[in-house]
Amino acid sequence: MSNNLRVQNRDSLEGDISRVTMQLTYKELQSRLQDARIAYGALNQPSDLKGHDAFRAVNYFNSDGKKLELAAHPVKWADSNQNKLGRAPKIGEHTKEITKEFGI
């Protein structure tokens, strides 16, 4: 099935879902999802993400070398090393190389 077919009736489906969920408390909806064995994630604030079972973090460094903990990409590839990211470039650090590449 193509994505176009999947989303063809999205507005109607979202309306149907909203009509049901708007009548439920959060706890009632959570219970129904659990009873039906439907996966869901309850993330209401950025702080909720860190405590989520599926959360993975990677260490990254800003342009000043300060260590930052960021959310990792949700997909792991066999040929990637997502846990060893370099630092973010400083503003203008690669300007010469980029402008040369574009013939500017």
Closest CA to 58 of 66, 46, 69: 69
Tokens encoding 25: 């408390």
- In this prediction the pTM is 0.41
Beta strands in the chain (DSSP E): 57-61, 67-71
Per-block mean pLDDT, blocks of 10 residues, the chain (104 long): 79 91 93 91 77 78 85 73 71 93 92
What sections of the chain are H helices per DSSP?
Answer: 3-7, 10-21, 26-35, 46-50, 95-101
